[in-house]
Structure 1
Amino acid sequence: MMSGSPKEFGRACWNEVYNRIIGAVVFLDDNSAECLHWDGGLFNLLTGGAVAVKSLSPFECAKKEHKKAVFITQSTSTQLQTIREIIRNSDFVHCILISCMSLDVVYLELNEGKDVTDVVSAGKAFTEATKQLEGMLVEWMGKKQCSTEVLHVPIFTICPTNAVFLTPPYQKIYPLFNGNLTPESNSIDLYTLSSEERSQVRRLASGLNSMFESMNLKEDVFYMGVYSSLVAGVLENSPVCLARRKNCTNPVSLLIIDRTLDLCGVTSHSMECVLDKVMSVLPRFPGHSNDVAVDMSPLCVANNCTNPVSLLIIDRTLDLCGVTSHSMECVLDKVMSVLPRFPGHSNDVAVDMSPLCVANIISHPDDIQLSAGCLYHADDDACTQTFDYMINKSQKEVMFDLYNKLSKIDVQKSPGPKTLLKVTPLSIEKIVIASKGNYDIIGKHIGVLQQALGVVQTLKSPKRNQMELVMGLERQVHQSLAASRDSTSVLHQISQLIKTRKERNLPLENLLALITHVYSLTGTEVSFNKQHEDTLAEMLSVAIFEDHKTLLSNPDPGMATPEGCAEMASKIMKKLKDVSQMRKILNKYTSVLKASESGLGYEYVGVLQQLVHEMTSCERPELTDLRHRHDGFKDILRTGFKSEKHIIAYKQLHRSMITSGVDNTLIIGSTKFVNPVEAMRDALAI
């Protein structure tokens, strides 16, 4: 049995923070701020006693009267330099540094290039790091009378559901070896990685170790893939992890699996759950990797003035001299000439209020600056239930759930949910719009209104038609591959799609996701025609040249030339070939395209899904691809297991576990939620 859950672990970490913030200015890095969002948000800090909350930025500082600061940070070298600048530009006498990263890892990074083997082996790295960081804080404050505190609070997880945890600080971790998908040598250890990649492995392993310690877990580590073997190695051999396992008593099996072994699921546009659809259509919430920005303008009104006014009406054309003169005597004339009009008004101006706000903002299509809404609301049980439904329930069930909750606040008294056979986006939107301008209702039910708007905006978006078109193309690809694996014309078909993408209104990035899906799906089973691959490279080169401004966030000047685009297309093709070779190291799970159980055509069955099926099988087949530091395979199903996967696979895994009849606790961990385009960008480094 586990002691607690990942959600309870995260809550306990934040409670540790709340105990130290009274009277302090709190500075958070972006990743910690995202974790805070999933624990209740900004008001948890303000109601807990913080006098101000600021971003961890070198351009920030505190007022002179504020003497206490709390820094919540991942303790990277850049962030420590930022803390130095903030302290030097403020007048603190009491500084608390809350390191979300274990101090033994921070010690290694602070002393990069030095021989610290003896300190680490003796288990003194934590203490030495504390001394170093406290010394830095004292030096930066520059006062004789000051106090410091350095402590480790492992804030790195968020829990969308009780069975899923994500790790925002590690959102950029990816199975890479000096920037490549495959290692150059068969002999791999931490020191064959770049310094940054090595640090990422240590940080991820350290975070998991902290969570296991809090949950009193003693793990057996199983892994599949080269990168996962490195993470497993740190968990198995680190002195800190060894010491923790001696004291923990609850057995658990940990499965770590390389994402790159199977990119089919995450690059597929076939989306079973509502959350996948929302994540693929709406933009990310500013600064976040796991929530979306919802346009809140449908709930806002600008024209709400009711006071009567008397007007003197004069024919303006009688005298145009005064109004066309740039000679302005009064301040109001100057203001009216510079600032934009208040939305919907002709006689007042719009003032940018963002300098007074701490919330991120998004741009409304009409360029009205509004705070973005979001999907997850930790302090509203009804909203957390709906978010869970977005992952685990069908679209129909989610729509009825939203309609049921909205009908309780409906001011227009729409038909009750029991009388409806179908709930459409229009019926949801009608109830939401009925609350427009009613800020008392909006304030009391802001969570469900944001979720409803997010779902409506997703289902009504033109992008949904694009997703469905690509989904249909995927099905055609599956059948083409199944029918003719030796001489398939799939690449020729995709080349034609790229050529005609604008007529079909298909973004290039979605077609690149489809290509990545195809190469991962085929693996080593299909050898594509070289002529077809050359044609695909040519089509990609032309398409990149035409679309590089929208495809690339920061396009290189070379992308403006055909030669630069041809070079990029060549690199993409090399990455795609690497993707197809990823399962070459496996024995049993080399194929993910299986004959459908219905006997009609073929379907995708992921590596992890196949693994779980065999793990829960009564026949107990040998799991040759799952590695363990000891020979043999322990009774993994007695203890439960953890793994790393995508939202769709989460439903499939749960289904496998439930139907197996095995009494198990399943917890799924990943670095972040991704949509097909983001998964493609991670794999192809675009």
Structure 2
Amino acid sequence: MSAASSFPSAPAGVSSFCQQAWEQVFSKVKRAVVFMDSACAESLHWTWGGAGRLLQAGALNVKEFSSFESAGAEQPKAVFLVSTLLKGRTVDIIRDIVSLSNFQYTVVFTAVSHAVHLQAHNASGCAEAEGGSQVVFEQFEEKLCQWMGNMSYTAEVQYAALFLAPISPHLFMLPAFSFLFPMMAQDLAQINNGRSEKKKFANLSDVDFSSLSSELQLEIRTLASGLNTLFEYLGMREECFAVGPLSRIIAGDLANYSQAKARRKTAQSKASVIFVDRTLDLTGAVGHHGDNLAEKILSVLPKLPGHATDVMVSMVELTAVQTDDPHCSIIAPGSLAQPADPAAKALWESLMNLKHKEAVMEIRRHLVEAASRENLPIKMSMGRVTPEQLASFTQLFKKKPEALENHCGLLQIALATVHTLKHPQNAKWDNFLAFERLLMQNLGESALPGVLNQLLPIIKSHNNRTDDDYTPEDLLVLLVYIYSISEEVNTEKELDEAEEKVKESLVHSICDEPELSTLLQKITVSHQKAFYCPT
């Protein structure tokens, strides 16, 4: 599910909303060990630049939210940052960490509101009946004291809206909901399994909120509650539109949410919110039609571990220290999130709206200006910007630690550009675009089986591939593209035969891989199927 929105004065409002939510956390982390899950880490990453901001606020250490983590005897305070309900596995992990440590003061921040916790514990309306007391949070505070081993110790549970990751003033992601995926035909069959014959749904557009599983209902209500918190901060009265079955349910739940109804009565500004099922735009997601440098950087470079929206940028070529020890080097980790560097942040935001050629020229201009301010011997040249030219400009900062620190954000974006333009996958970009156009043309002239048969010659095993050939991941992308632009597929013998041939060739190709990529590992593990490879 994706959401597009047009907010009045939204850029500053959304950014300040994210910052204010994290300020609530910063006020509690002094002299504490912080345990944080991946979704919260991604929000912090884009809002304040990462864990360094927690350390600046006085945190002793920042650790992964895992049952394998704990704190030392000399660390009596803990702060937990979770994007999920205080239920199930989340509770188990908190209990494990607390039991293995010697805490006397524990604070838990959850990105799920107390109202949703009430629903999760089948206690809807309890907050209103008790004058707004947060009974679920209070009960969890008692559990924390029990796990710490002394009921006189201090425990606090608070709601903090840590669910947004502001990629730019006009674009923000919701990492905690990255796995919320629209319903498919298989889901309809599963929903109908528990219903009588007369009450079965004919299609997905007939499914309503109450017919969904309790887990999916809670996830949708969590999303609606979070958006309501954001809109309340913005003083906004929204009008919702939806495209797709799941988006319709989400938009309806937000419209009917009791707290949202109360907010809309007093809100001063108006805005439109459009919810779109992501399955309706798979062609755009897998296509190579964009002439945008930022899109290529995010597509080509390896993902930052635990993050869905940022990439890793190697800085070793600028930070390696020459010593007698060949294994000694200082490596500054790089990424695209630079909230603490206004110049780099502004450059990154501009790249998202510029075409490829304009973007690389803008990066060159920023490098030239930075080098001039640092009195570095830069030689300006006109004409086409090449990755080699950008790399040579970045090298001027290598032996100037102060200049490197002053412009680290710019240099990370410049190196991200260099690595992207030199990456083999970038060289395939135009090939992908040309082949996709050919597939689209052929689908207009012939049936799907004929197009699938065109794929067979390009499905090659690892030993028979060159750098210009398509990998199994590339072929999966092409298959998604083909089926996304195809008209409604009717089962027929010719199509079945064509699909079986493609499946067999693809399985042989995957089984021939010396090592499966992260994507292929996820696909094979998630389906829990073993490939049978005939010898």
TM norm structure 1: 0.67
Offset from partner CA, 1:249-269 (integer Å, 9 cap, x none): 322222111111231111102
Q: Read off the aligned partner of 2:423 and give its amino acid letter.
A: S
The answer for the alignment partner of 2:312 in structure 1 is: 293
The answer as to whether partners of 2:127 and 2:134 remain within 8 angstroms in 1 is: no
TM superposition shift of 1:456: 0.5
Query: Aligned in 2, Cα 1:426/1:190: closer, same or farther, shift over 3 Å?
Result: same
2:459 is the counterpart of 1:498: yes
The answer for the alignment partner of 1:553 in structure 2 is: 521
Between 51-60 and 510-519, report the one with greater CA deviation: 51-60
The 5 A counterparts of 1:399-438 are: 399-410=360-371, 413-416=377-380, 419-438=381-400
The answer for the alignment partner of 1:645 in structure 2 is: none
Instruction: Give the whole-Å Cα distance in 2 for the aligned partners of 1:461 and 1:270.
Output: 18
The answer for the alignment partner of 2:484 in structure 1 is: 520
Instruction: Give the whole-Å Cα distance in 2 for the aligned partners of 1:213 and 1:536.
Output: 50
Offset from partner CA, 1:183-242 (integer Å, 9 cap, x none): 753341334334433332222222111111111112222212110122122212222333
Q: Read off the aligned partner of 1:507 and give its amino acid letter.
A: T
The answer as to whether partners of 1:225 and 1:257 remain within 8 angstroms in 2 is: yes
Offset from partner CA, 1:573-624 (integer Å, 9 cap, x none): xxxxxxxxxxxxxxxxxxxxxxxxxxxxxxxxxxxxxxxxxxxxxxxxxxxx
2:326 is the counterpart of 1:343: yes
The answer for the alignment partner of 2:34 in structure 1 is: 26
Q: Read off the aligned partner of 2:308 and give its amino acid letter.
A: S
Q: Read off the aligned partner of 2:25 and give its amino acid letter.
A: V
Instruction: Give the whole-Å Cα distance in 1 for the aligned partners of 2:509 and 2:332.
Output: 34
The answer for the alignment partner of 2:351 in structure 1 is: 390
Determine helix, strand or coil for the equivalent of 2:465.
helix
Determine helix, strand or coil for the equivalent of 1:392.
coil
Determine helix, strand or coil for the equivalent of 2:352.
helix
The 5 A counterparts of 1:306-345 are: 342-343=325-326
Offset from partner CA, 1:358-381 (integer Å, 9 cap, x none): xxxxxxxxxx99553111211111
Query: Aligned in 2, Cα 1:179/1:137: closer, same or farther, shift over 3 Å?
Result: farther
Query: Aligned in 2, Cα 1:124/1:75: closer, same or farther, shift over 3 Å?
Result: farther
Determine helix, strand or coil for the equivalent of 1:38.
helix
The answer as to whether partners of 1:35 and 1:156 remain within 8 angstroms in 2 is: yes
The answer as to whether partners of 1:7 and 1:162 remain within 8 angstroms in 2 is: yes
Determine helix, strand or coil for the equivalent of 2:270.
strand
Instruction: Give the whole-Å Cα distance in 2 for the aligned partners of 1:303 and 1:382.
Output: 30
Instruction: Give the whole-Å Cα distance in 1 for the aligned partners of 2:14 and 2:82.
Output: 20
Query: Aligned in 2, Cα 1:54/1:534: closer, same or farther, shift over 3 Å?
Result: same
The answer as to whether partners of 1:26 and 1:72 remain within 8 angstroms in 2 is: yes
The 5 A counterparts of 1:35-54 are: 35-40=43-48, 41-54=50-63
The answer as to whether partners of 1:498 and 1:543 remain within 8 angstroms in 2 is: yes
The answer as to whether partners of 1:67 and 1:93 remain within 8 angstroms in 2 is: yes
1:167 to 174, 177, 189: 174
Determine helix, strand or coil for the equivalent of 2:305.
coil
The 5 A counterparts of 1:620-659 are: none
Between 177-186 and 9-18, report the one with greater CA deviation: 177-186
Q: Read off the aligned partner of 1:561 and give its amino acid letter.
A: Y
Q: Read off the aligned partner of 1:509 and give its amino acid letter.
A: E
TM superposition shift of 1:178: 9.0
Report the number of matched residues: 498
1:106 to 109, 117, 121: 117
Q: Which of 1 and 2 has greater Rg?
A: 1
Offset from partner CA, 1:518-570 (integer Å, 9 cap, x none): 2221233x76975245223322223223314346215458534149x9xxxxx
Q: Read off the aligned partner of 1:6 and give its amino acid letter.
A: V
The answer for the alignment partner of 2:334 in structure 1 is: 373
Mind listing any 5+ residue stretches in structure 2 that lack a counterpart? 1-7, 193-200
The answer as to whether partners of 1:218 and 1:252 remain within 8 angstroms in 2 is: yes
Greater relative CO (CA pairs within 8 A, separation 6+) = 1
2:256 is the counterpart of 1:237: yes
Instruction: Give the whole-Å Cα distance in 2 for the aligned partners of 1:409 and 1:117.
Output: 57
The answer for the alignment partner of 1:331 in structure 2 is: none
Instruction: Give the whole-Å Cα distance in 1 for the aligned partners of 2:335 and 2:224.
Output: 30
Q: Read off the aligned partner of 2:144 and give its amino acid letter.
A: L
Q: Read off the aligned partner of 1:390 and give its amino acid letter.
A: L
Query: Aligned in 2, Cα 1:264/1:2: closer, same or farther, shift over 3 Å?
Result: same
Determine helix, strand or coil for the equivalent of 2:510.
helix
The answer for the alignment partner of 2:211 in structure 1 is: 192
Determine helix, strand or coil for the equivalent of 1:489.
helix
The answer as to whether partners of 1:161 and 1:388 remain within 8 angstroms in 2 is: yes
1:217 to 210, 231, 236: 236
2:418 to 443, 452, 456: 456
Structure 1 or 2: larger helix share? 2
Query: Aligned in 2, Cα 1:144/1:558: closer, same or farther, shift over 3 Å?
Result: closer
1:272 to 286, 291, 297: 291
The answer for the alignment partner of 2:3 in structure 1 is: none
- Give the % identical residues: 29
TM superposition shift of 1:486: 5.9
Q: Read off the aligned partner of 2:109 and give its amino acid letter.
A: I
TM superposition shift of 1:103: 1.7
Instruction: Give the whole-Å Cα distance in 1 for the aligned partners of 2:386 and 2:208.
Output: 54
The answer for the alignment partner of 1:316 in structure 2 is: none
The answer as to whether partners of 1:177 and 1:194 remain within 8 angstroms in 2 is: no
Query: Aligned in 2, Cα 1:538/1:49: closer, same or farther, shift over 3 Å?
Result: same
Instruction: Give the whole-Å Cα distance in 1 for the aligned partners of 2:448 and 2:142.
Output: 67
Q: Read off the aligned partner of 1:8 and give its amino acid letter.
A: S
2:68 is the counterpart of 1:80: no
TM superposition shift of 1:161: 1.6
Offset from partner CA, 1:314-353 (integer Å, 9 cap, x none): xxxxxxxxxxxxxxxxxxxxxxxxxxxx426xxxxx6xxx
Instruction: Give the whole-Å Cα distance in 2 for the aligned partners of 1:464 and 1:126.
Output: 55
Offset from partner CA, 1:479-532 (integer Å, 9 cap, x none): 2234x26688322222333258835521122222122112221233x7697524
